[in-house]
DNA sequence: TTAGCAAGTTAACACCGTTCATTATCGTGA
DNA sequence: TCACGATAATGAACGGTGTTAACTTGCTAA
């Protein structure tokens, strides 16, 4: 992560970082509605229009913050994976899942910003999209590792709906593992959906009707998933 | 649903309905950011301050819309249940789940408003809370019906974390089924989390990285849940 | 050294939620 | 029938928002 370019480029990059950091600070301390251009600028000793030198719009600025948050989350999960001996894949999976949930719960407003804003999939990938893909790859690679180390039982190709098969084949091509059974892709995806679905409901407070501490329920989920992935 | 009270009360109730209906119209046609007091009033041939005769604030108006949406969703699900013969409980479960997902996908902006705004659980229940509880009860009762008709295998009390048991006991008391095993409550809750988690990710576009049509995946989920609930 | 560009400013526009004083309208009791 | 009180609705105003345009300042590269 070494700085490059002219001096001007460097100070400019520093300002961009300060802007996104300030935006996040306000997000955390005062909530999403308080993250206005004027509030950001005020806290930086600037005026709002100056921010347009760095971002085309308020939306674009927020998208950039989302990218940064994706990167932080990805780093956190990858650190959890690396800190676990590569021999114990079950532990790796558990720690990675816990790291994801922990980050979500300790950064609820950030999580809401990242995953709670329905984003239409644009044509070309921007910075934010790339950060999101990097995050996605982190869990994909973990699952691939699990499969390669010890394949688990999956549905046979013939038992999977064609409409699902064709989508899984496309996605399998994207992650670059052409020899993986379609059934394994299905297991990966449904496990991920269960994991992210759970965490999302948690952060959005949708479990409060029954639970005030969802940790034991999450623990149960992880046991279930580990089982499904043949980890004992 | 018969109107009561004086003539004034009736016209007032009609105006309240028109306001929430207009708010929803704008929500659907122009998105959540367009649902401003001025826009609502404009479309009704009024001015914004007049709306304060009916709602204490913009937030309160939106909360009321959420309540209406809850009721519509609940009615939809209950209709799907009633239209299925009470003998075939598997079909009832499937149809109810499909009705929930269908409503979510055909009313994405409404779903986002209802379930995507992290709401802190207040002290006293307001109109919106009651509508939410009514929705919750709908699925609870379906599960209770399933259990009473044909109990499915569940964890023994001794195999459930105490921290989870105490919460489930409280919730079991709320739904008024003191003789239900704690394990059955856990199964209900985890099934519901999987269902709502899936639908939420779907609406928020969080599956787009792998799927452009999530229907077959949802079908797979329902088969899984039916299996878990002993429906064959 | 100087021309040019980047960074930042102020002023303005149209919109927002909300409050306040004021007016018009309606229903009802004398 | 009339007058009064409650209700409904208005227009003006305040401080805030995203955004644009014109303008100044200061650094930098030729």
Do the chains contact at B193 and A171, CB–CB below 8 Å? no
Q: Do residues A217 and B164 make contact, with C-beta atoms less than 8 angstroms apart? A: yes
Q: What is the pLDDT of residues A29-59, one digit of tens each?
A: 999 999 999 999 999 999 999 999 999 999 9
pLDDT reported for residue B142: 96
Q: Is a pLDDT exceeding 90 seen at residue B7?
A: no
Biggest CA-to-CA distance, chain B: 64
B200 → chain A, closest CA residue: A197
Which nucleotides of strand C are protein-proximal, with an atom < 7 A from a CB? Answer: 6-11, 15-21, 26-28
Say how far B120 CA is from C5 C1', in Å. Answer: 50
Assign A1 a pLDDT band (cuts: 50, 70, 90). Answer: very low
Q: What is the pLDDT of residues B209-223, one digit of tens each?
A: 999 999 999 999 999
Q: What angle do CA A19, A21, A25 make, to 5 degrees?
A: 115
Say how far A53 CA is from C8 C1', in Å. Answer: 9
The per-residue DSSP string of chain A comes to: ----S-HHHHHHHHHHHHHHHHHHHHHHHH-GGG--HHHHHHHHTS-GGGGGGT-SSHHHHHHHHHHHHHHHHHHHHHHHHHTS-TT-HHHHHHHHHHHHHHHHHHTHHHHHHHHSS-----SS--HHHHHHHHHHHHHHHHHHHHHHHS------GGGS-HHHHHHHHHHHHHHT-TTS-HHHHHHHHHHHHHHHHHHHHHHTTTTTTT-S--HHHHHHHHHHHHHHTT--
Q: What angle do CA A71, A73, A79 make, to 5 degrees?
A: 100
Q: What is the pLDDT of residues A154-204, one digit of tens each?
A: 999 999 999 999 999 999 999 999 999 999 999 999 999 999 999 999 999
CA distances from B169 to A160, B24, B181 (A): 39, 38, 9
Contacts of A23 (CB under 8 A, 6+ apart): A35, A40, A61, A62, A65
**Taking the CB of residue B91, how many other CB atoms lie within 10 A of it?**
17
Q: Do residues B230 and B150 make contact, with C-beta atoms less than 8 angstroms apart? A: yes
pLDDT reported for residue A136: 97
pLDDT reported for residue B137: 97
Mean pLDDT within B2-19:
82
Strand D surroundings (CB within 7 A): A 6-8, 35-39, 48-49, 52, 57-59; B 8, 11-12, 15, 41, 45-47, 49-50, 53
Say how far B109 CA is from C16 C1', in Å. Answer: 21
Touching check for A14 and chain B: CB below 8 Å?
no
Q: Is the dihedral of CA B11, B12, B16, B22 positive or negative?
A: positive
Assign A4 a pLDDT band (cuts: 50, 70, 90). Answer: low
Give me chain A's average pLDDT, please: 95
Q: What is the pLDDT of residues B118-160, one digit of tens each?
A: 667 778 899 999 999 999 999 999 999 999 999 999 999 999 9
CA distances from B88 to A45, B81, B100, B191 (A): 67, 10, 19, 19
Touching check for A207 and chain B: CB below 8 Å?
yes
- Look at the block and give the residue holding tokens 């509508």: B131
CA distances from A36 to A41, A121, B61, B74 (A): 9, 25, 23, 37
Do the chains contact at B219 and A161, CB–CB below 8 Å? yes
Tokens linked to B165: 């048991």
pLDDT reported for residue A42: 98
pLDDT reported for residue B1: 45
Q: Do residues B136 and A209 make contact, with C-beta atoms less than 8 angstroms apart? A: yes
Of A41-45, A117-121, B72-76, minimum mean pLDDT range: A117-121
Tokens linked to B104: 């979510």
Touching check for A184 and chain B: CB below 8 Å?
no
Query: In A, which residues are within 8 Å of B216 by CB distance?
Result: 161, 163-164, 167
pLDDT reported for residue B4: 63
Of the candidates B150, B179, B175, B176, the residue with the CA atom closest to the CA atom of residue B89: B150
Minimal CA separation from A133 to chain B, in Å: 8
Mean pLDDT within A74-84:
97
Touching check for B121 and chain A: CB below 8 Å?
yes
Give me chain B's average pLDDT, please: 95
Mean pLDDT within A148-159:
96
């Amino acid at each position: 992560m070494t700085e490059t370019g002219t001096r001007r480029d460097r100070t400019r990059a520093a300002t961009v970082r300060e802007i996104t950091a300030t935006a996040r600070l306000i997000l955390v301390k005062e909530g999403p509605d308080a993250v206005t251009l004027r509030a950001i600028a005020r806290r930086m000793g600037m005026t709002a229009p100056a921010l347009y030198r760095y971002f085309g719009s308020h939306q674009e600025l927020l998208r950039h913050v989302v990218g940064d948050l994706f990167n932080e989350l990805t780093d956190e999960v990858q650190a959890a994976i690396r800190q676990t001996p590569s021999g114990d894949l079950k532990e790796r999976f558990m720690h990675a899942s816990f790291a994801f949930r922990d980050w979500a719960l300790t950064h609820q407003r950030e999580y809401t910003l990242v995953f709670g804003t329905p984003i239409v999939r644009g044509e070309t990938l921007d910075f934010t999209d790339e950060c999101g893909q990097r995050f996605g790859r982190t869990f994909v690679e973990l699952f691939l590792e699990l499969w390669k180390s010890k394949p688990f039982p999956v549905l046979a190709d013939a038992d999977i709906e064609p409409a699902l098969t064709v989508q899984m084949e496309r996605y399998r091509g994207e992650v670059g593992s052409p020899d993986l059974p379609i059934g394994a892709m299905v297991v990966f995806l449904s496990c991920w959906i269960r994991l992210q679905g759970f965490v999302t409901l948690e952060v959005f407070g949708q479990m409060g009707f029954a639970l005030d501490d969802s940790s034991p329920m999450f623990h149960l989920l992880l046991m279930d998933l580990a089982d499904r992935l043949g980890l004992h």
